[in-house]
Amino acid sequence: MGGRIPFSALSKGSFEPLRCRLLNAGWGMRRRDFIQIIAGTAAGWPFAVRAQQPKWRIGFLHPSPSAIVAHRIAAFREGLGSAGEAANAEIVERAANNQIGNLPAMAAELVGQGVQAICAVGPVAVRAAREATSSVPIVAMDLESDPVANVWAKNLAHPGGNVTGIFLDLPGFNAKTLQLLREVVPGIAKVAALWHPASGSLQLETMRSAASAVNIMLEVFEVRDPSDFDRVFQAMVRSHAAGVLMLSSPLFAGYPRLLADLALSNRLPAINIFPDFAQNGGLIGYGPDIRGLFTQAGLLTRKVLQGTSVADLPIERPTRFKLIANLKTASALGITLPASILLSADEVIE
């Protein structure tokens, strides 16, 4: 046999048409010889020919249990898209099951596994990821802190480091939630604030300022894990609070039905930043759509992985807020929801 079989011939079509082309060109051979040639040549083909399409490898760092995180990842994948590398994206999940002290080790593990980006949820996860790496892009989904005040970013338009993402404008938002509670409970003088210390003090400080501006006493009740919920609600009743403001925390986002049941059984009008609180039996839910936020975070991550510099990718605010009111719960509490709430609500549950 003289000459060499050109690689271009081996990289096109299936084996049988190739055999026909070779025979037509005068390359007489037995079937066994043909198979040996093909097998030997394929071993030397470039890796790109033999391997699957390259994947994106993304870390997902969350303080909550895996059962809750699964729903967040599903929404995050929608933001990544359904074509190209996004279709084969591998998401490496690390869920702390409310054991937030484990987050730093989990973040370091993600970096060690060679992820190309990390979606970090909540301030503790963002801080852990940032301490684990200064080079891997971090896309934050954090409704509890200020990235500039935390020195995670130089400014919102040009973060300048390896952190971008979605952060809530806390002063304006907290004033709005307090206003809604005042409309629901006219003349309210004392409000209980449900607060998770791990979420940081910034939103608590802004809520205190908003309450002071309208002469409302704000009493803070701390919780560190779900086992504290029942005890804290009983303490709120003993304090004679006339309503409850639930500040933002991934901890509270994971238990909307439990929090709604406790507020109702203790006969406390309550407002929660997560709209699904009202869908699960709470009185008022007002805040950004959580599923939409994770989709938004997925979109930001896709931009980073497609080549946009994380240092130049502007930090975003939630773009859509939902107000949901539950008339059934209001009736059980002996409350008549005002027209201002009912007319502006995105959804009224009867």
Q: Taking a C-beta distance cutoff of 8 angstroms, is the pair 79, 301 a contact?
A: yes
Place 319 in a pLDDT band, splitting at 50, 70 and 90.
confident
User: What does each C-alpha distance from 182 to 211, 272, 278, 347, 350 come to in angstroms?
Assistant: 10, 14, 17, 20, 22
Q: What is the mean pLDDT of residues 255-259?
A: 96
d(CA 41, CA 39): 6
Whole-number pLDDT of residue 330: 97
User: For residue 73, what pLDDT is reported?
Assistant: 96
d(Cα 266, Cα 242) in Å, to the nearest integer? 11
Report yes or no: 251 and 232 within 8 Å, Cβ to Cβ: no
Residue 98, CA distances (Å) to 67, 112, 122, 143, 192 in order: 12, 23, 12, 17, 23
At 52 the pLDDT is 52
pLDDT of residue 172: 82
Q: Please determine, for residue 105, whether its predicted confidence score (pLDDT) is greater than 80.
A: yes
> Distance (Å, rounded) from C-alpha 218 to C-alpha 212?
8
Q: Three-state DSSP class for 138? A: strand
- Side chain identity at 149, as an amino acid letter? A
Least confident stretch, 5-19, 92-106, 120-134 = 5-19
Which of the four pLDDT bands, split at 50, 70 and 90, describes residue 320?
confident
- Split at pLDDT 50, 70, 90, the class of 27 is very low
Strand pairing of 138-142 and 217-222?
unpaired
pLDDT at residue 54 tops 60: no
Between 27 and 293, the higher pLDDT residue: 293
State mean pLDDT over 249-274: 95
* Spacing of C-alpha 19 from chain mean position: 53
Given a cut of 60, is residue 346 above it in pLDDT?
yes
Residues 234, 194 contacting (CB under 8 angstroms): no
User: What pLDDT score does 174 carry?
Assistant: 86
Residue 64 pLDDT exceeds 50: yes
What separation in angstroms does the CA of 150 have from each of 124, 127, 145, 163, 248?
Answer: 12, 9, 8, 11, 17
Q: Are 245 and 271 in contact (CB under 8 A)?
A: yes
Q: Which domains does the chain have, with CATH numbers?
A: 7-50 (no CATH), 57-168+291-312 (3.40.50.2300), 170-288+321-349 (3.40.50.2300)
pLDDT at residue 97, as a whole number: 94
**What band does 38 get if pLDDT is binned at 50, 70 and 90?**
very low
Q: Between residues 289 and 140, which one has the greater pLDDT?
A: 140
In Å, what is the CA distance from 283 to each residue of 161, 250, 253, 290, 334?
A: 41, 20, 15, 18, 11
Q: How far apart are CA 321 and CA 64, in angstroms?
A: 23
Band (pLDDT 50/70/90 cuts) for residue 11 is very low
pLDDT band at 86 (very low <50, low <70, confident <90, very high): confident
Ranges 46-60, 101-115, 175-189, 205-219: which has the least confidence? 46-60
Q: Which two tokens stand for residue 139?
A: 């896309």
Strands (E) in the chain, as ranges, are 57-62, 90-95, 117-121, 138-142, 163-167, 190-195, 217-222, 243-246, 270-272, 284-288, 321-326, 347-349
Residue 30's pLDDT is what?
52
